[in-house]
Amino acid sequence: MSKIKPSKGAPYARIMGVGGYRPTRIVPNEVILETIDSSDEWIRSRSGIATRHWASDEETVAAMSIEASGKAIADAGITAEQIGAVVVSTVSHFSQTPAIATEIADRLGTAKAAAFDISAGCAGFGYGLTLAKGMVVEGSAQYVLVIGVERLSDLTDLEDRATAFLFGDGAGAVVVGPSEEPEIGPTVWGSEGDKAGTIKQTVPWDRFHNGDVSQLPLDSKGEIKFPAITQEGQAVFRWAVFEMAKVAQQALDAAGITSADLDVFIPHQANMRIIDSMVKTLKLPEHVTVARDVETTGNTSAASIPLAMERLLATGQAKSGDTALVIGFGAGLVYAATVVTLP
C-alpha cells in the first residue's frame, strides 16, 4: 500500500484572466512587397492579412511576455507572488538555455515559481493550457501563468514569396486557477511527425557551428541567410482544413456539447481561408463569434489564440462566461483543441 499522500488540488480549473501585447510598429503589406514579387490583393486573397506587428529591439520575447502577463495577472485579480508556475510557449527565444520563463518569472516578482519553456509551435498555447490545468487540479500550483510569445519577424525570410507576408510578433498570456466547476474541457491533442517536413526551420543551428558555408542558403546579395521558417503551403492548408476540423469536433464531443452550444470560436490565426473553411466544415451556427485577428496581427504562432481571445473580450465581441472552442495547430505537425469558459 502506498505511503504517499494524495494530492490536494482544486476540483477543476479555469482561465481567470487574459492579457496581450502587440508591438508598436504596424507593418502593412506594402512593406512586404518591397522584397517579393506579389501584390496586396494576392496577399489578402491568399491569407486575409492586411497588416502585422513587428517588434523593435527593445520589444524582446521577455519584454513582450511581461507586458502581456501583467495585464493577465491584473485581470485575474491576483498578484505575481501568487503565481506558482510560469509556462512559456515559444520558438523564437534564441538562447538554448536557460528557459526564458525563468527570467520572466523573476522579473514579474513571483515567489520563485516553477518556470519552463515548451516548443509546440502554433499549438503551444493549447499545450501550455493543458499543463496548467493539470497543475492546478493536481495541486502543485494554485495559479499558473501560461504565455504564448513570438518574434517571428526574426525567423522570416523576406525574399520567400510563400511565407514573407505571413508572420507577426506579439505575446498573449492567461492565468489559470482553481474552479468549482469544469471551465476547461478535456484536451484533444496529438502529433503527426511523419509530416514534420511541411513546416520547418530552413537551416539547423549546427550548420553555423561547423563553419561549412557551402551548406548555408544565400540571399539575393550573396550573403548568408539567417535560419527562417518555411512551409509547404498547400499541404499545410489541406491538413489544417480537413484534419483539424475533425479534431475540433472531437473537442466538442469530449466536452459534451455541440456547436449550437458555442458562443465563440478561437482557432489559431494562421490564415483567413483556413479559418473560414473550418467554420464551414464544422457547420458553426451564425450566432457563434469567430476570431479573425489574423487580418491585422498576422500569424503569431503560440501567441495567436490568447491575443485573439484578449481582443474579442476587449472589443465586446465576446463576453465573460461565454463558451469558446480553441484549437491550435502547426509545426510538428502538432495540434491541441479544447473548450473553455472565457474569463
Long-range contacts of 284-293 (CB under 8 A, 24+ apart): 284/259, 285/259, 285/260, 287/263, 288/259, 288/262, 288/263, 288/264, 289/263, 289/264, 289/265, 289/317, 289/318, 289/322, 290/264, 290/265, 291/264, 291/265, 291/266, 291/267, 292/48, 293/269
Which helix (H) or strand (E) segment holds residue 291: the answer is none
Name the grid cell of 309: 481571445
**What pLDDT is stored for residue 136 in this prediction?**
98
**What pLDDT is stored for residue 43 in this prediction?**
97
Left, alpha or beta for 256 (phi > 0: left; psi -120 to 50: alpha)? left
**What pLDDT is stored for residue 1 in this prediction?**
82
**What pLDDT is stored for residue 5 in this prediction?**
84
Segments in the chain below pLDDT 50: none
Contact by Cβ (8 Å): 17, 183: no
**What pLDDT is stored for residue 303 in this prediction?**
98
The residues that are catalytic are: 122, 268, 299
**What pLDDT is stored for residue 307 in this prediction?**
98
In sequence order, the β-bridge partners of residue 238 are none
pTM of the model: 0.95
Rg (CA), the chain: 20
Handedness of CA 107, 111, 117, 120 (dihedral sign): negative
**What pLDDT is stored for residue 210 in this prediction?**
66
